[in-house]
């Protein structure tokens, strides 16, 4: 006799010859206990349960439903029945079915169960019909005996048995112990106080299984593979559909199971767990089973309540009811401490602790989220709709939290400026915005001077209040900015404003030392001439970042050195330097080293150092250093004023230095134009062009005084950006790498868009740029004359590589940027030499297709500069679809798939108005779609891969089908089915989900397949419209995910 020994749920295996066959246990009941008492019985207990229940199913299927129905209709206690064996109190009464119905025959309709009457009389077990029905009951009872041997361990049973079989097993236990029908025990609220100890055990075991099965099936599992049906075994697909039906039923009745388990906890009675010898199966000498429940093991309330609390906790955790789950786990922990060698409770303490910590954390997180106050933006919008009531308090709070953008706050201020009835509110909002700007270290011209001059007490009190709140919540850097600003205001405040007394009476004084408070009182008492050297109310333009890195608590404005840090008036600076050098006997070198942020260009620094030490030397250095620093932090007007004063000073010291200072002033104009295309007062674009060309002429004529490379970089980039290409094309033999690079690229730009005419100047530019990245490894010789292992990289190009990288970031003209992007990406593609990661850009056809010697190229520098150039280009024009695609290709080549998808989607969005129109082929071609498919595949979004396969000119079915077969998918899965228009893919999905038994997903695929607009008999325009609708819907969906 050969039978397939089941090794797991719903997994058929080849037939083997077991040591013992199932029928031997039927013929000899004692054999079962002997077999199970072995150390490693073969077949195992779980395999025996599967064999017994499988054979019972086969017997029912072979005999048809007639016997089952007739058995169910047999009346209780009919005449002529054999005498009933002795029963223990509380044994079940009522009709006994020979077997439970097959899972496919379970009636899942919600019906009102009949009223159940409880009795204390001993149950009467009806006689079993002879023949196969008796055999079926015997097999199921044998399965119960094996489960009793396993101590009804649900963890083991759920892991090792299919859902259908475990459902049948527990239903059989209910029929054997309960005084009511199994359906009533499953689907009604039970009164555990009147149930027997054995019935309580069976009921709680079934309802435990119900909720644990729901938890287990909430996690993804391995799909069932399709095998040919083996004789004597259930069809795997039929079993899958039965399982789905049972799970849906359990899900509908989950609340009843939870309620019954909670009732069981509250009843608090001792229950009895059946043992293997509590059940005697029918035999040839005895037609009815004998139940000896009194032989069972008594389970104290603490033990089973511990187990039930743990199971309820896992269910509540699955339902994300973390508060209830935490209560259950806390109860479990308390009870588990008092259990010694439990029989029924199988709680793992380590897993319990993990659940407990997780619930505690999640509960705290959810509490914080639920208690999270309304955002400042919503509150500000509500205030705007309510005539701006409460808006000022919101802005004061936002000064610390900084949730609202500066643009939003500026819009509010502009809106209030037009409302004459809200003048005071407008002033308050303006003050709040000023303080916010101070905290961020940004440049602004404040209205504080007007407030101090008007000396309105209410407004000044409000200013002090805002400063106090900001200081209390500010970070270290923000506090430094605020303190610096406060000193400026204190110096500038007129006596009648009473600003300083208000500050000293407020909480602000806690942020100053006693010495500093005394200095403020001196300011109030009229000693400003000694303190500030004539600080003007108009000089309240504040930028914290232009000051020293921090203001030490012991530093005050009485200290001359620190006054020098903060002063930008030429006369005051001269007075302070005179104080240091003449009165305090400091050297000029000491003054020039006071602030590390006073950095001069090398050419100017070299000249100043060669001057004889004097007050004028230090004065010139400080003026130029402060001017360069202001230019660095983009305070151009102040930088221009300082450099003008410096020019007047140095013109008497050095003509060469004076010329460099004027070129530095021109640099201020160039940087201002590059930043926002504005000019200084009494200046224009033509004036700036004239200055730039005069500077370049000095280089072209080879004059003795030459501008620095930094100046030439800005000049040549400026002419390139304003499209003065004809002038640059004539700049030959200038001996300047920046000018030469601009000359070559101007010649190319002048020929575009003609590809044919552009090839010659493109080759010249190509060869020049290649030399920049070429290396000449020179070995360093030791003292003995031998080559050492060390070598240095000798650069051969017209510009050092670092200079060329900085030059690329000065270009903002779109066509020039496109040419350099095209050149660098072509360079990159040749070095990579991998067609699968080739980067797209415009004008690729004008460049050579190969390099004579790639081994002599610094590949790392090329990769870095391509990345820097793309970041710079997208900062200048974030909506250039071609550049966005190039950036996406670059990220894809570097295996940054999520970022690549972001830029692919952005390229599609800007070129099609968020996919309202078709994406141009120049942006989305087959190459891009395949790269997007690979990105999604690496991100394990396999359904997206399958949908994208349709976008190709020829649908890639093999890739689509392979993607849909993937088990672990992290995307919206069947939600994307409505975006599939290819009938073959939809039909495959229906087949795949049917084979896996995934009925809900199968229905999703069927709904997508039966859409009327996908009918192949529709006109072509209807079909194309359906395709475009689905494309647009899918692209917008994934754009929300990646962008």
**For 312-354, how does the pLDDT look when each residue is reduced to its tens digit (9 = 90+)?**
999 999 888 888 888 999 999 888 888 888 888 988 888 898 8
Closest CA to 519 of 503, 507, 538: 503
Determine which of 217-226, 263-272, 836-845, 931-940 has the lowest per-residue pLDDT on average. Answer: 217-226
Query: Percentages helix, strand, coil for the chain, rounded to the nearest 5?
Result: 65, 5, 35
Q: Is the pLDDT of residue 305 over 50?
A: yes
Q: Return all residues near 1020 (Cβ < 8 A) that are at least 6 apart.
A: none
Summary count for the chain: helices (H), strands (E): 47, 6
Q: Return all residues near 597 (Cβ < 8 A) that are at least 6 apart.
A: 548, 625, 629
Residue 19 confidence (pLDDT): 61
Residue 947 confidence (pLDDT): 95
390: left (phi over 0), alpha (psi -120 to 50) or beta: left
Mean pLDDT, rounded, for 974-987: 93
User: Rounded to whole angstroms, how far apart are CA atoms 386 and 399?
Assistant: 22
Determine which of 278-292, 463-477, 840-854 has the lowest per-residue pLDDT on average. Answer: 278-292
Q: Is the pLDDT of residue 83 over 50?
A: no
Can you say how many angstroms the Cα of residue 256 is from the centroid of all Cα atoms in its chain?
A: 39
Residue 389 confidence (pLDDT): 87
Whole-number percent of the chain with pLDDT over 70: 81
576: left (phi over 0), alpha (psi -120 to 50) or beta: alpha
Mean pLDDT, rounded, for 169-191: 86
Can you say how many angstroms the Cα of residue 273 is from the centroid of all Cα atoms in its chain?
A: 50
Would you call 219 helix, strand, or coil by DSSP? coil
Residue 279 confidence (pLDDT): 84
Determine which of 144-158, 485-499, 761-775 has the lowest per-residue pLDDT on average. Answer: 485-499
Q: At 457, is the pLDDT very low, low, confident or very high (cuts 50, 70, 90)?
A: confident
Cβ–Cβ < 8 Å for 15, 26: no
Residue 514 confidence (pLDDT): 75
Q: Give the ranges where 64-153 is alpha helix by DSSP (H).
A: 65-73, 132-149
Closest CA to 867 of 832, 834, 828: 828
446: left (phi over 0), alpha (psi -120 to 50) or beta: beta
Would you call 596 helix, strand, or coil by DSSP? coil
Residue 520 confidence (pLDDT): 80
* Alpha carbon separation from 37 to 150, 380, 764 (Å, rounded): 11, 75, 90
Residue 494 confidence (pLDDT): 78
Largest pairwise CA distance in the chain: 137
Q: At 176, is the pLDDT very low, low, confident or very high (cuts 50, 70, 90)?
A: confident
Q: Which helix (H) or strand (E) holds 272?
A: strand 271-273
Mean pLDDT, rounded, for 96-118: 37
Residue 1 confidence (pLDDT): 36
pLDDT digit string, tens, across residues 2-18: 333 444 444 444 444 45
Residue 455 confidence (pLDDT): 64
User: Rounded to whole angstroms, how far apart are CA atoms 525 and 504?
Assistant: 14
Cβ–Cβ < 8 Å for 272, 197: yes
Q: Is the pLDDT of residue 930 over 50?
A: yes
pLDDT digit string, tens, across residues 512-528: 877 778 778 877 765 44
Q: Which two tokens stand for residue 505?
A: 């009476």
Predicted TM-score (pTM) of this structure: 0.54
Determine which of 352-361, 446-455, 550-559, 1014-1023 has the lowest per-residue pLDDT on average. Answer: 550-559
Residue with more model confidence, 238 or 320: 320
Q: At 377, is the pLDDT very low, low, confident or very high (cuts 50, 70, 90)?
A: confident
pLDDT digit string, tens, across residues 14-57: 444 456 666 677 666 677 777 887 888 888 888 888 888 888 88
Residue with more model confidence, 204 or 120: 204
Dihedral sign for Cα atoms in the order 868, 871, 873, 875: negative
User: Rounded to whole angstroms, how far apart are CA atoms 1017 and 292?
Assistant: 71
Quote the mean pLDDT of the chain: 80
């Amino acid at each position: 006799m050969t039978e397939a020994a089941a090794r797991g749920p719903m997994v058929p295996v080849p037939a083997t010859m077991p040591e013992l066959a199932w029928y031997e246990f039927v013929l000899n009941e004692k054999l079962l206990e002997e077999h199970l008492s072995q150390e490693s019985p073969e077949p195992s207990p779980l395999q025996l349960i599967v064999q017994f229940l499988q054979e019972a199913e086969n017997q029912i299927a072979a005999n048809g439903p007639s016997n089952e129905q007739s058995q169910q209709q047999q009346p209780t206690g009919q005449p002529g029945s054999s005498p009933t064996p002795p029963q223990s109190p509380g044994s079940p009464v009522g009709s006994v079915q020979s077997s439970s119905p097959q899972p496919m025959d379970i009636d899942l309709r919600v019906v009102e169960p009949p009223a159940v009457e409880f009795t204390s009389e001993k149950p009467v077990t009806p006689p079993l019909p002879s023949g196969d029905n008796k055999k079926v009951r015997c097999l199921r009872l044998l399965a119960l005996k094996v489960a009793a041997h396993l101590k009804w361990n649900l963890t083991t049973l759920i892991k090792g048995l299919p859902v259908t079989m475990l459902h049948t097993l527990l239903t059989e236990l209910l029929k054997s112990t309960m005084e009511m029908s199994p359906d009533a025990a499953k689907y009604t609220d039970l009164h555990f106080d009147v149930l027997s100890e054995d019935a309580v055990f069976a009921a709680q075991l079934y309802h435990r299984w119900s909720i644990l099965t729901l938890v287990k099936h909430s996690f993804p599992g391995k799909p069932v593979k399709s095998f040919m049906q083996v004789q004597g075994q259930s069809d795997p697909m039929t079993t899958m559909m039965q399982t789905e039906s049972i799970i849906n039923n359990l899900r509908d009745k989950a609340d009843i199971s939870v309620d019954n388990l909670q009732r069981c906890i509250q009843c608090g009675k001792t229950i009895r767990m059946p043992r293997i010898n509590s059940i005697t199966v029918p035999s040839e000498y005895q037609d009815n089973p004998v139940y000896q429940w009194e032989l069972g093991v008594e389970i104290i309330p603490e033990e089973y309540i511990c187990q039930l609390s743990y199971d309820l906790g896992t269910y509540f955790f699955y339902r994300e009811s973390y508060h209830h789950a935490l209560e259950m786990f806390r109860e479990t922990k308390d009870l588990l401490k008092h259990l010694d060698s439990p029989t029924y409770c199988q709680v793992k303490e380590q897993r319990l602790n993990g659940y407990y910590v997780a619930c505690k954390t999640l509960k705290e997180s959810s509490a914080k989220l639920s208690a999270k106050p309304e955002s400042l933006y919503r509150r500000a919008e509500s205030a705007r709709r309510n005539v701006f009531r409460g808006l000022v308090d919101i802005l004061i709070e936002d000064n610390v939290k900084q949730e609202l953008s500066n643009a939003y706050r500026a819009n509010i201020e502009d809106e209030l400026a037009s409302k004459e009835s809200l003048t005071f509110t407008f002033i308050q909002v303006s003050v709040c915005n000023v303080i916010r700007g101070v905290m961020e270290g940004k440049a602004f011209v404040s209205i504080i001077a007007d407030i101090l001059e008007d000396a309105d007490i209410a407004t000044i009190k409000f200013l002090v209040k805002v400063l106090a709140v900001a200081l209390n919540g500010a970070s270290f850097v923000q506090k430094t900015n605020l303190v610096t600003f406060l000193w400026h205001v204190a110096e500038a405040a007129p006596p009648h404003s009473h600003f300083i007394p208000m500050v000293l009476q407020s909480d602000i004084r806690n942020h100053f030392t006693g010495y500093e408070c005394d200095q403020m009182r001196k300011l109030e008492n009229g000693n400003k001439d000694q303190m500030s050297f004539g600080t003007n109310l108009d000089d309240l333009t504040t930028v914290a970042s232009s000051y020293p890195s921090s203001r030490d608590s012991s530093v005050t404005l009485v200290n001359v050195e620190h006054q020098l840090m903060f002063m930008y008036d030429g006369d005051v600076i001269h007075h302070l330097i005179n104080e240091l050098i003449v009165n305090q006997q400091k050297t000029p070198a000491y003054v020039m080293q006071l602030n590390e942020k006073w950095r001069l260009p090398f050419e100017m620094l070299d000249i100043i150092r060669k001057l004889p030490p004097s007050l004028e030397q230090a004065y010139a250095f400080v003026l130029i250093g402060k001017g360069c620093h202001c230019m660095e932090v983009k305070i151009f007007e102040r930088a221009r004023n300082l450099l003008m004063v410096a020019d007047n000073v140095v013109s008497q010291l050095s003509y060469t230095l004076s010329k460099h200072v004027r070129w530095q002033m021109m640099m201020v104009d160039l940087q201002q134009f590059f930043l926002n295309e504005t000019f200084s007062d009494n200046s224009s674009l033509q004036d700036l062009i004239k200055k730039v060309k005069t500077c370049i002429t000095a280089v072209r004529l080879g004059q003795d005084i030459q501008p620095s490379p930094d100046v030439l970089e800005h000049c040549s980039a400026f002419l390139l950006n304003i499209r003065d290409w004809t002038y640059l094309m004539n700049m030959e033999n200038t001996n300047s790498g920046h000018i030469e690079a601009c000359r070559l690229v101007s010649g190319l730009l002048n020929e575009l868009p003609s590809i044919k005419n552009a090839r010659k100047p493109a080759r010249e530019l190509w060869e020049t740029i290649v030399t920049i990245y070429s290396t000449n490894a020179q070995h360093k010789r030791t003292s003995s004359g031998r080559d050492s292992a060390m070598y240095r990289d000798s650069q051969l190009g017209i510009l050092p590589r670092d200079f060329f990288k900085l030059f690329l970031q000065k270009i903002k003209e779109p066509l020039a940027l496109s040419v350099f992007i095209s050149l660098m990406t072509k360079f990159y593609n040749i070095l990579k030499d991998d067609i699968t990661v080739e980067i797209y850009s415009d004008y690729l056809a004008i460049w050579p297709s190969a390099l004579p010697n790639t081994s002599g190229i610094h590949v790392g520098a090329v990769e870095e500069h391509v990345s820097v150039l793309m970041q710079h280009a997208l900062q200048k024009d974030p909506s250039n679809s071609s550049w966005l695609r190039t950036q996406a290709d670059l990220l894809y080549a570097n295996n940054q798939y999520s970022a690549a998808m972001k830029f692919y989607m952005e390229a599609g969005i800007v070129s099609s108005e968020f996919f309202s129109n078709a994406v141009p082929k120049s942006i989305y071609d087959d190459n891009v779609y395949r790269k997007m498919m690979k990105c999604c595949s690496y991100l394990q979004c396999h359904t997206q891969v399958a949908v994208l396969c349709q976008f190709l000119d020829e649908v890639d079915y093999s890739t689509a089908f392979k993607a849909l077969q993937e088990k672990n998918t992290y995307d919206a899965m069947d939600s994307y089915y409505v975006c599939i228009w290819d009938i073959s893919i939809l039909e495959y999905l229906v087949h795949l989900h049917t084979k896996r038994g995934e009925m809900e997903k199968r229905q999703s695929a069927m709904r997508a397949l039966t859409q009327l607009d996908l009918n192949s008999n529709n006109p072509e325009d209807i079909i194309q419209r359906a395709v475009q609708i689905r494309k647009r819907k899918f692209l917008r969906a994934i754009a929300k995910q990646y962008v």
